[in-house]
């Protein structure tokens, strides 16, 4: 058992310091004070962190800590802590460890008995979740899916039966491929795409996966919030068939009727498709 009383011991400390995901005004006074107070700042990318530190007149020494040097850098940071130094860890933007480097370091530091102290602050997934219009609790944060289509769809298959809201991160050059994989594996669910959070061009696109798949030229860092699996079996097959017949009678093609009924009744399109084939 490891029992840490953060402010009741004299152990050297690693501070996990969130940094703004866009708007610099979201940097907290405490975060600025900590970055000025510590002996070193471990950065995901010192070049990216430089403008932020300069903006707040922070001249603390910086060292690199990123995905490609976590093992070696962790050893160096442990040594600095053993020498009595306090260190802050920051990522390029957002919260350390949340799809950013830091997991290896935190694990090693807690093993050595030093303090790990988190600060409150910016986090893209929470911003997207609370403004998505989807059910907020419970939720599961998944982060980035695999860039390979086959592996990405295998991962989504593992998540498709989760009943809670799911949150994903994605890069702009892969967003359309990812949305299409989600539509294929998860079905046409309600979702929200949040991009450029806290920046000038912040946008929330709320709709269904099929609607989002039609979008083009999306830019900026993306957060995708997708509803969990819904229990659609409370709706009888007879009700779905009646709804299909109504739409077809009124002039819709079978394909468009399936799309409309699945959306309006909020049920899986595959189930509606199977029943439509029996008409």
Q: What is the CATH number of the domain that holds 43?
A: 3.40.1010.10
Q: How many CB atoms lie within 10 A of CB 116?
A: 18
Identify whether residues 46 and 113 lie together within a single domain: yes
Same-domain check for residues 130 and 197: yes
In a domain, 1, yes or no: no
Three-class secondary structure of residue 79 per DSSP: helix
What is the predicted pLDDT for the residue at 232? Answer: 57
Q: Are residues 144 and 217 in the same domain?
A: yes
Mean pLDDT of the chain: 92
Q: What is the DSSP letter of 56?
A: T
Write out the chain's pLDDT in tens, 279 residues: 888 999 999 899 999 999 999 999 999 999 999 999 999 999 999 999 999 999 999 999 999 988 777 888 899 999 999 999 999 999 999 999 998 999 999 999 999 999 999 999 999 999 999 999 999 999 999 999 999 999 999 999 999 999 999 999 999 999 999 999 999 999 999 999 999 999 999 999 999 999 999 998 899 989 999 999 876 556 788 888 888 988 888 988 988 989 888 877 777 788 888 888 877
* Structural domain containing residue 272: 232-276
278 contact partners, CB below 8 Å, separation of at least 6:
none
pLDDT at 144: 96
Is 2 among the domain residues?
no
> What residues pair up with 204 in beta bridges, in sequence order?
194
Q: Is residue 74, in this structure, part of any structural domain at all?
A: yes
CA distance 80 to 272: 61
Please check whether residue 184 lies inside any domain of the structure: yes
Give the single-character DSSP code of 40: E
Per-state percent for the chain, helix, strand, coil, to nearest 5? 40, 20, 40
156 inside domain: yes
Tens-place pLDDT, residues 136-187: 999 999 999 999 999 999 999 999 999 999 999 999 999 999 999 999 999 9
Q: Angle at Cα 10 formed by Cα 86 and Cα 6, nearest 5°?
A: 80
Q: Which of 109, 78, 127, 114 is closest to 5 using CA atoms?
A: 114
Looking at 188, 205, 226, the residue that finishes a domain is 226
Do 142 and 99 fall within a single domain? no
Closest CA to 63 of 110, 123, 14: 14
Considering the domain architecture, whether residues 97 and 58 belong to the same structural domain is answered as yes
Dihedral Cα 87, 92, 97, 100, nearest 10 deg: -140
Do 154 and 66 belong together in one domain? no
């Amino acid at each position: 058992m490891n029992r840490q009383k953060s402010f009741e011991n004299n152990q050297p400390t690693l501070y996990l310091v969130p940094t703004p995901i866009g708007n610099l005004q979201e940097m907290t006074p405490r975060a600025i004070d900590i970055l000025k107070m510590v002996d070193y700042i471990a950065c995901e990318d010192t070049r990216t962190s430089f403008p932020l530190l300069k903006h707040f007149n922070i001249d603390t020494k910086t060292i690199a800590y990123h995905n490609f040097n976590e093992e070696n850098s962790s050893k160096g940071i442990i040594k600095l802590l053993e020498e009595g130094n306090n260190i802050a860890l920051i990522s390029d933007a957002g919260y350390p460890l949340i799809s950013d480097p830091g997991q290896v370091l935190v694990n090693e530091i807690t093993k050595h008995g030093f303090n790990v102290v988190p600060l409150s602050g910016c986090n893209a997934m929470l911003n997207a979740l609370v403004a998505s219009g989807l059910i907020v609790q419970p939720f599961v944060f998944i982060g980035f899916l695999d860039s390979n289509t086959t592996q990405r769809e295998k991962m989504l298959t593992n998540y498709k039966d989760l009943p809670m809201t799911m949150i994903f991160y994605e890069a702009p050059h892969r967003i359309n491929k990812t949305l299409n994989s989600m539509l294929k594996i998860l079905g046409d669910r309600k979702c929200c795409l949040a991009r450029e959070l806290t920046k000038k061009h912040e946008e929330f696109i709320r709709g269904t996966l099929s609607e989002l798949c039609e979008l083009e030229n999306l830019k900026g860092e993306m957060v995708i919030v997708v509803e969990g699996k819904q229990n659609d079996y409370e709706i009888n097959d007879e009700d779905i068939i009646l709804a299909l017949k109504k739409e077809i009678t009124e002039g819709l093609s079978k394909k468009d009727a399936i799309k409309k009924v699945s959306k309006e009744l909020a049920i899986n399109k595959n189930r509606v498709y199977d029943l439509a084939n029996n008409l």
